[in-house]
Amino acid sequence: MRSCLPVHPVVSAVTFVTIMMIGLSHLGTSGMADDAEEIDLSVYYGFRDLEIFKLEQRSHSMLPGDFNHDGLTDLALVDNSHSRIDLLIQRASMDETDEPVTDPDVNKIESHWRFKHEKVPVDREVSALAVGDFNGDKRKDLAYFGEPDRLIVRFQSESGSWDQKHEVRLADVEGQSWGIAAGDLNHDGKTDIAVLGKRVTYVLHQSEPGKFDAPEVIRNTAERVGLAMIGDLDGDGRNDLFYMAGDGDERSASTRLQNETGQLGPEIRFELEDIRGLILYDLVEGAGKEVVTIDGTTGRVRVAQFTRESDPEGELAVRLVQYGFGESGSSKGRDLAIGDLDGDDLTDVVVTDPEAAQMIVFLQHANFGLDLGTAYPSFLGVEQVRVSDIDRDNTAEVFVLSNKEQSIGLCRLEKGRLSFPISLPITGEPVAFELADLNRDGNMELVYLEKVKRGKYALHRLTKSEGNDWETDAIGGKERELNLSNEPVFMRALDANQDGRTDFLLMSDNGKSPTLLVTNEDGVPEIVEATGGLQLGDVERGAITSGQLEQPVTLVAQDNFARNILLDDENRWQVLDQYNPIESNARIKGVATLDLDGKPGNELVLIDTGVNKLRILRKEGEQYQPWEQVDLGSFPYIAAEVADLNSDGRDDLLLFGGQRFLTLYAGQRPPELKDVLTFESRLDDIFFNDLAAGDLNGDGHPDVAAFDLTKHNVEIITPRDEKLVHAINFKVFDEKNFGRRGGGGAQPREGVVADVTGDGRDDLILLVHDRVLVYPQDDGTTDDVVQSEESGE
């Protein structure tokens, strides 16, 4: 590479931009080489004369690809101002019809001869664009999302036309740049398409040439998702889906890894929250592509790599895995239950979707854990679900209660699907139910609460008999009624006094204390009025749990602490122990017990939504002391369950929330993103906003170009000796020409690295205002070299 490069200022009357053909700031002359051992890398980088092509101010989504099948790399951009996609087709040499510039207006910039401008008309506003071979003919095709609801694939034909197309309607997709991505997402060698929607992500798998299977629906876990990318992140040779997920003000880098069966897995979120530019690129050895970002707080460029560390004995997984089931009205109307639905001795998960009249079943598989869920039709308004093998056939039944249809139904997983509920023979209007063995014969019964009239309720029991028959009886006799001042909406089983019999809490949603029913020796639950002493107060259903410490316990979360409680012989609640977080802003909403360290005895997990943490306490001596914390993020907690969810023989923690549930695996560490390289620019007053990567000096090693919006610089950085170091920087245009127009704006707004000059070397291409700027990489042998000028001088 040469150290001196051409500088040719050219003025555009259209944009009043002084575009610097190249203005280099060398390490040695810009004050970058403070250390004596630092090497001036700028001598290894150079570009030939700048090539400019005029497009439009609204041009966006610049992508490289061979769009005429001639073996040369072209460019595609969206131009909604003219309802078209612009193709800049690379030409090897100037055409005879290309006239030299003779316009007397020296401020006018003519487009360079490098590209032939072809136009693909569109009939919809295009929000996002992707490139791939979508029919297996080895030609690059175009996929774009057209407002308001259409994914359109345009196929490149042998004749060069783009008339053949495939359209799919996708509901509830908010048009956004980079909202779609292309890549092989099931490891079959064909290019698929992922589209980020408001509630779900659609994956369209290519089936046969030019055709796609019905869209696979993956339920989002976040309020917003964006910036879709596809690449092999964990180095297993399979492409993964990467995107940003946002809840409230939080925005986290997230991925779904493709498993060995060719399916995308659950969402894993990482501690990459306040970021600006983001690309996936293979910069360093190890794993797959790295995640290259600009830290929004420090402005540093960070290179993070996936790691799959083993689970050292006694260490805790610090990453929660997320499963989405989508929004459906109020999250309070949902319910979740666990059990073995298909008889494979693995715990499955069932979630209700009341407004959509469906149930979502997440089956566990021995090789990869829970799947992403399948929806099946059900009663309308199912807000309560319980799971149990009530007929002892080694497969659990699913019981559902619908207040809207005033029915309790039974479902089974049969022939690969969850059956529609069969209505059970109940009396009156059911408001809540539970499963319990009241007569202690070893068989579970269905206990439900009937609303007789205002303030009057009755308990009934359904017992499974022969075949599909059920026996029903009124618990305590037909004339027995319960007088309840609070209207119950939920029923929770527990053993309040640890006598081995199932008791019940009847919980309302009016902010009042639950009603306790204690089961007597005859198996009849009776109302117990707790007099004096401790009161449960206003507790939500997820605040009370039955767990195991040294013995079976009842635990309750109460504001900023949790308690181990027991109902004594005089029906008064007694506190056996109390667990207080140190922080004053703690809000303990739930509590659970399970073995998280692999040692004898369970740990205690406090679900703290005040600081969005899981606080894990471990017994030391005679007390439970803080051991670990796990970031919870913004999470609308409802309830918790404990079960083995990845078939490793150890219980895991499931947290049920508004539109997703989270899992904390006790014996498995999800992949981590760890910083392997960082870079902090020494240039003054810069604001990096975007990145591009490629080999920008022909040495066979990748570089990163960072785009500065303050002074409109490009700084090229490169991995060297396990560090990310400055190589060269230059100004794209002079902002002084924008003094009367408010400055140069957020430019460059896009950039890619690709060989668009046909010499086998990567070039840097920028989208600035209404121009595509091509910086052709110099091979170090050109003669048109003049002394470079200092950038900004």
604 closest CA partner among 631, 641, 579: 579
In angstroms, the Cα distances linking 241 to 19, 28, 112, 238, 793 are 38, 42, 37, 10, 44
Residue 250 and residue 273 in contact, taking contact as beta carbons nearer than 8 Å = yes
Q: Is residue 301 domain-resident? A: yes
Q: Is residue 188 domain-resident? A: yes
Q: Is residue 128 domain-resident? A: yes
What pTM does this model have?
Answer: 0.89
pLDDT digits (tens, 9 = 90+) for 621-649: 999 999 999 999 889 999 999 999 999 99
Q: Is residue 550 domain-resident? A: no
Q: Is residue 634 domain-resident? A: no
pLDDT digits (tens, 9 = 90+) for 711-761: 999 999 999 988 999 999 999 987 655 444 435 678 999 999 999 999 999
- Domain with residue 252: its CATH number is 2.130.10.10
pLDDT digits (tens, 9 = 90+) for 530-584: 666 677 888 899 999 999 999 999 999 998 999 999 999 989 999 999 999 988 8
CA–CA dist 128, 141 (Å, integer):
14
In angstroms, the Cα distances linking 417 to 106, 355, 411 are 72, 20, 10
Q: Is residue 504 domain-resident? A: no
CA–CA dist 475, 461 (Å, integer):
6
CA Rg value for the chain: 32
How many domains does the chain divide into? 1
Q: Is residue 452 domain-resident? A: no
User: Could you tell me the pLDDT band of residue 250, with boundaries at 50, 70 and 90?
Assistant: confident
Q: Is residue 687 domain-resident? A: yes
Residue 155 and residue 210 in contact, taking contact as beta carbons nearer than 8 Å = yes
CA–CA dist 367, 376 (Å, integer):
24
What would the two tokens of residue 243 be?
């995107």
Confidence check: pLDDT of 296 > 50: yes
Structural domain boundaries, residue 61: 54-94+114-306+676-772
CA–CA dist 695, 708 (Å, integer):
20
pLDDT digits (tens, 9 = 90+) for 267-278: 999 988 789 999
